[in-house]
Amino acid sequence: MTFSVLVVPNDAGDLIEQLGTKLKFWYFDPVRGACLYKQGRRGTGEDWAERVACEVAEALGLPHATYDLAIWRGQQGVVTPSFRPADSRLVFGNELLVRTPVADHELDRGYLRQHHTIPRVFRLLSAVNLRIPQPWPADPGGLSAGEVFVGYLLLDALIGNQDRHDENWGIVATNSELRLQPTFDHASSLGRNETDDRRLERLNTKDELRSVAHYCKKAKSWLFAGVGQASRLTTLDAFLAAAQLHTAAAIYWLRRLDSLPEEFFRNTLDRVPNDWISAAAREFAIAMMLSNRARLLGIKL
């Protein structure tokens, strides 16, 4: 069964906000409540990548924003219901990190976002008053916010998500509590920006340096090993660095991944409607996740 496609009312976009490079707006859905419609940029695959990532996060048991494929005025995009309670506000990583004390040797001297390091992020997530996302039907109990975030980084490594920057995670703040936000915004994943010619070349090549596996190894996170480091960590290395801090949690999430059979990934991509994804994009995304799954499950902790 293919993924359903929501039809957003034509008049829902009266309060359009042009944020970043995407057209997006909030509207009220009688079933889902307050919803954000995000229009995918034509030919980029952002919409199907977001929908597939949502399905993978669900299968892993991660707390995540929900995304559905959607059409508004003939344009493809996604719809996501708000996960923010009415009496709360969202505080993103960049704001949190600015408030986090740093030692003299950690002061930024280079690229603006080099403060976005594994040690600083997890030091912040270890705050005793930070709770895990809610509601979360798959919550196994006993995990801290930092241990849940380890799962977010496993998801990034699995789907090749290269957009976990300091505004793509954060907390939900109310007068009474602070909770980690569910994982969200995974559109920069699954090789969705590649051309079909390049996908087919990598799928069919005998040159290891042009293969899908080699392509997967180059996926970069927006996390750094430490302040002053010039290079961003790869998505796999970001997970490995987190695993050194929370080994038991990393093992837990790896076991969750191991419980997903290889057929799950093909079945998930097969649910994307044919008029939303090309055959080459479908096969490439499947190959990416199978390659990344093998690399992750090959980790020895």
Looking at residue 104, its pLDDT comes to 46
Q: pLDDT digit string (tens) for 197-248?
A: 999 999 999 999 999 999 999 999 999 998 777 789 999 999 999 999 999 9
- Mean pLDDT value of segment 126-144: 86
Looking at residue 105, its pLDDT comes to 45
- Mean pLDDT value of segment 110-118: 68
CA distance 19 to 178: 26
SS3 label, residue 149 = helix
CA distance 44 to 42: 6
Residue from 156, 161, 187, 190 nearest 40 by CA: 187
Global pTM reads: 0.94
Q: pLDDT grade, residue 18 (50/70/90)?
A: low
pLDDT at 113 over 90: no
Residue with the bigger pLDDT between 17 and 212: it is 212
For 241-253, the DSSP string reads HHHHH-HHHHHHH
Contacts of 286 (CB under 8 A, 6+ apart): 265, 266, 269
- Mean pLDDT value of segment 251-259: 98
pLDDT at 14 over 90: no
Between 19-28, 47-56, 237-246, 267-276, the lowest mean confidence (pLDDT) is in 19-28
Q: What value, to the nearest 5°, has the Cα angle with vertex 36 and ends 7 and 76?
A: 45
Q: pLDDT digit string (tens) for 153-175?
A: 999 999 999 999 999 999 999 99
Q: pLDDT digit string (tens) for 87-108?
A: 999 999 999 988 765 554 445 4
Domains, the chain: 5-81 (3.30.200.120), 89-297 (1.10.1070.20)
- Mean pLDDT value of segment 9-23: 70
Q: pLDDT digit string (tens) for 47-84?
A: 999 999 999 999 999 999 999 999 999 999 999 999 99
Looking at residue 41, its pLDDT comes to 86
